[in-house]
Chains A and B, each alone.
Chain A
């Protein structure tokens, strides 16, 4: 009896070693299709600082740093102002949590959370942020936490490949949210049929049946 089970187990192990991995057919091409709203519209609801909702970046991790693509424009004057600082906003901060909560509620994806500071007085500053993975035409909304604790939603001046240009009237925590959900991976077009596994199973079961039958008749 032990020999029989040992033989059966060895057979299964031998077959499983040569068996390819297989899975269910792809259900989608990565993520869901866009909502269809390509216009730069915004939701009427705004995030509230201090929300207790957990941070959810929908699988997009926040990189440590964001760089400026080129010179910034302060009150209409282009300058390479080096006093501009951009730091990553901790995901556990109240602003980040509130923004992530808003993004989730609006089926959006948080792309980047940063704290931008410019120790200069200005009425308007235009900053071309370098954001990798952003595509031209992508529906991006910038959430900006003003000094009075109120959030404002800013439609970027321009969204290009890897570049989002935004004009602010003040600076503070800034969160980039994508309202598009596009597939990031190509469809899986492999053939994951289970025929090899079924064939191996049939062989092992056949051998098992023969061995067991011989034992029975003996």
Chain B
């Protein structure tokens, strides 16, 4: 009887050890993959270069169609974030052909390329820059949005990673004191630098923004903006000093809320500067 018990204990010991080793191997592999992805993004971020700061000149302003400028804008030369440049040709050739823009929010970890898959909207939700499947995926937009950010509302998605990467730092805006010091989102495209001012950050339901509202008409856009500014939630952070009209161009940064799969955390910003890189270089 005692011998039988000994065999059972030996088997249990072996099984438990195998399970423990497998679990530890899984954890190590997870962090190794995460570390590799992080290193890849850091390498890409390091490849961004800064343009020389020009002297203040009216030519730094955009020659593009006028956009909302209701809020006082800092002098452009003081805003060094504007003068970063991305070598899109190299990124598309060496890393991924679907990279078409770069998004950055100063003082956060949000500093990533923006991708759009040509045929599968959900591809970059589950696939990484190097083509591997799994987290953290990529920052991406859907085909419904143009790649030149000319739409009324360009929705940009990213995972809310527990390790703080991707769009996790959007949740910093849940603290209302974060917004005044970090009001801008920067989008870099091959020929432009777009600066957006954040006017709303809030938890919302999981409806698909691009298919749930009418952005085709002025009335539809006005109605949508009214809905945003009428949000009455303790957790919503709204800057009503920022004037947003139905003729503006918005971006919506969308990520998840903890374990609430039916919720999304949205940070919305309006375009305030549309700057041609060629103008900066002059």
Q: How far is the CB of A140 from chain B (nearest CB, A)?
A: 14
The verdict on B218 contacting chain A, using a C-beta distance below 8 Å, is: no
Complex interface bits, A197-218 against B, C-beta within 8 A gives 1, otherwise 0 = 0110110011011001101100
- Interface SS, A side: loop
B261 within 8 A of A: yes
Of A30, A189, A205, most buried by chain B (CB within 10 Å of CB) is A189
B214 touches A136 (CB 8 A): yes
Given contacts A20-B259, A201-B19, contact A30 B208 (CB under 8 A): yes
Contact A189 B126 (CB under 8 A): no
A188 touching B256, Cβ below 8 Å: yes
In the assembled complex, which residues on chain A have CB atoms less than 8 Å from the CB atom of B258?
190
B contacts with A: majority SS: mixed
Which residues of chain B (141-180) have a CB below 8 Å from chain A?
142-143, 155, 157-163, 167
CA distance A135 to B224 in the complex (A): 14
A216 touches B6 (CB 8 A): yes
A191-B162 CB under 8 A given contacts A135-B211, A161-B220: yes
Q: Which of A1, A27, A29, A213 contacts B208 (CB 8 A)?
A: A29
CB–CB A193/B158 < 8 A: no
Digitize B197-230: 1 where CB-to-A-CB distance is under 8 Å, 0 elsewhere: 0000000001111011010110010000000000
Closest to B19 in A: A205
Q: State whether A194 and B13 are in contact (beta carbons under 8 Å apart), knowing that A136-B216, A186-B157, A189-B160 are contacts in the complex.
A: no
Is the beta-carbon distance between A206 and B20 smaller than 8 angstroms? yes
- A191 in contact with B13 (CB, 8 Å): no
Q: Is the CB of A187 within 8 A of B16?
A: no
**Are A208 and B216 within 8 A (Cβ)?**
no
B208 close to A185 (CB less than 8 A): yes
Q: A26-B126, A189-B158 in contact; A137/B13 too (CB < 8 A)?
A: no
Which residue from A190, A195, A208, A213 sits with its C-beta under 8 Å from B256?
A190
**B159 and A194: CB pair below 8 A?**
no
Chain A nearest CB, measured from B207 CB (Å): 7
Cα–Cα, bound, A189→B162 (Å):
11
A201 CA to B211 CA, complexed, in Å: 42
Interface residues of B in 209-262 (CB under 8 A from A): 209, 211-212, 214, 216-217, 220, 254-259, 261
- B159-A191 in contact (CB<8A): yes
Residues on the A chain within 8 Å of B208, using CB: 29-30, 182-186
A159 to B: closest C-beta gap in Å: 11
Judging by beta carbons under 8 Å apart, are A191 and B121 in contact?
A: no
Which of B162, B167, B258 gathers the greatest number of chain A CB atoms within 10 Å? B162
Asked if B24 CB lies within 8 Å of chain A CBs, one says yes
User: Contact at A216–B10, with CB atoms within 8 Å?
Assistant: yes
Q: Does A28 contact B (CB under 8 A)?
A: yes
Complex contact A25–B126 (CB within 8 A): yes
Beyond A25-B134, A208-B16, A209-B13, whether A194 also contacts B125 by CB under 8 A is no
| A205 and B23 within 8 A (CB) | yes
Residues of B with C-beta under 8 A to A182: 208, 211
Asked if B27 lies at the interface with its beta carbon under 8 angstroms from chain A, I say yes
Q: Is the CB of B125 within 8 A of A208?
A: no
How far is A193 from B12 in the complex, measured between Cα atoms in Å?
Answer: 28
B207 and A208 contacting across the interface, CB-CB below 8 Å: no
Q: Is the CB of A193 within 8 A of B16?
A: no
Q: In the bound complex, how far is the Cα of B17 from the Cα of A208, in angstroms?
A: 8
Tell whether B135 is near chain A: CB-to-CB under 8 Å.
yes
The answer, among A21, A205, A213, for a CB contact under 8 Å with B9, is A213
Cβ < 8 Å to B, chain A residues 151-167? 160-161
- A16-48 interface (Cβ within 8 A of B): 20-21, 25-30, 33
- Complex alpha-carbon distance, A182 and B122, angstroms: 13
Chain B residue numbers with a CB within 8 Å of A198 are 23-24, 26-27, 30
Q: Which 4 A-B pairs have the closest CB atoms?
A: A209-B16, A190-B256, A202-B23, A216-B9
17 A-B pairs with C-beta separation under 8 A: A33-B120, A33-B143, A135-B211, A136-B216, A186-B206, A186-B254, A187-B122, A188-B125, A189-B157, A190-B257, A191-B256, A195-B27, A198-B26, A209-B13, A209-B17, A212-B9, A213-B9
Taking A184-B208, A202-B20, A216-B9 as given, write out 10 further A-B residue pairs in contact, using a Cβ cutoff of 8 Å, ordered by the A residue number.
A4-B12, A21-B259, A26-B125, A184-B207, A186-B206, A188-B261, A198-B24, A202-B27, A208-B16, A212-B12
